[in-house]
C-alpha cells in the first residue's frame, strides 16, 4: 500500500513539474507516462480489493478514488505528438488515430471523475471498462 501512495505522490508531483516545463526530454516523458499509468493500475487494484471486500481498508477508498480522478484528468495530453518511443507501451495509433484516442481518453477521464465523486462497484466497473477500451487499441 505504501508503494502505491509513493507512486501516486510522484505522479502528482510530476504533473505539476511537467506542466511547468516548456520542453521535456522524450525519454523522461515516456518514464513519467509509465509512472502515471503504474499509479493508475496500482490504485485501481487497491480500489478493487476494497470494493470486493478482500481487504478491510474502506477508509482509503475515497482518497484512492480521488487520486484516480486527478491522475486521469487530461490524460491524452501526456501523449503529445512526437512522444512515440520503443520504450513506451503506447502504440503508434495513439498519434495516427488521435481523435479516437482522445475520445476514449476523455471517456476514461469522465468515468474517473464519477468514481472520484461516488466510489462504488458500479462506478469502478465503468472506469475499468473505459481504461480497457483504450488499452485494447492503443497499448501494447
SS (H, E, C) 3-55: HHHHHHHHHHHHHHHHHHCCCCCHHHHHHHHHHHHHHHHHHHHHHHHHHCCCC
Specify the pLDDT at position 14: 56
Domain boundaries defined on the chain: 2-138
Specify the pLDDT at position 25: 85
* pTM for this model (two decimals): 0.82
- Under a CB-based contact definition with an 8 Å cutoff, are residues 108 and 75 in contact? yes
Q: Give every CB contact of residue 105 below 8 A, 6+ residues apart in sequence.
A: 75, 76, 134
Q: Helix or strand or coil: residue 90?
A: strand
Give the three cell numbers for residue 66.
480521488
Q: Which fold has domain 2-138?
A: 1.20.120
Q: Tens place of pLDDT for every residue, the chain, 140 residues?
A: 666 655 665 556 555 444 444 456 889 999 999 999 999 999 999 999 999 999 999 999 999 999 999 999 999 999 999 999 999 999 999 999 999 999 999 999 999 999 999 999 999 999 999 999 999 999 99
Amino acid at each position: 500500500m505504501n508503494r502505491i501512495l509513493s507512486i501516486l505522490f510522484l505522479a502528482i508531483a510530476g504533473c505539476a513539474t511537467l506542466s511547468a516545463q516548456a520542453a521535456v526530454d522524450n525519454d523522461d516523458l515516456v518514464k513519467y507516462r509509465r509512472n502515471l499509468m503504474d499509479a493508475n493500475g496500482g490504485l485501481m487494484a487497491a480500489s478493487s480489493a476494497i470494493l470486493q471486500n478482500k481487504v478491510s481498508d474502506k477508509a482509503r477508498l475515497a482518497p484512492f478514488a480521488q487520486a484516480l480522478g486527478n491522475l486521469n484528468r487530461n490524460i491524452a495530453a501526456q501523449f503529445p505528438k512526437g512522444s512515440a518511443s520503443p520504450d513506451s507501451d503506447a502504440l503508434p495509433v495513439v498519434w495516427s488515430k488521435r481523435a479516437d484516442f482522445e475520445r476514449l481518453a476523455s471517456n476514461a477521464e469522465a468515468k474517473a471523475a464519477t468514481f472520484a465523486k461516488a466510489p462504488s462497484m458500479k462506478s469502478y466497473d465503468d472506469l475499468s471498462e473505459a481504461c480497457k477500451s483504450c488499452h485494447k487499441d492503443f497499448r501494447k
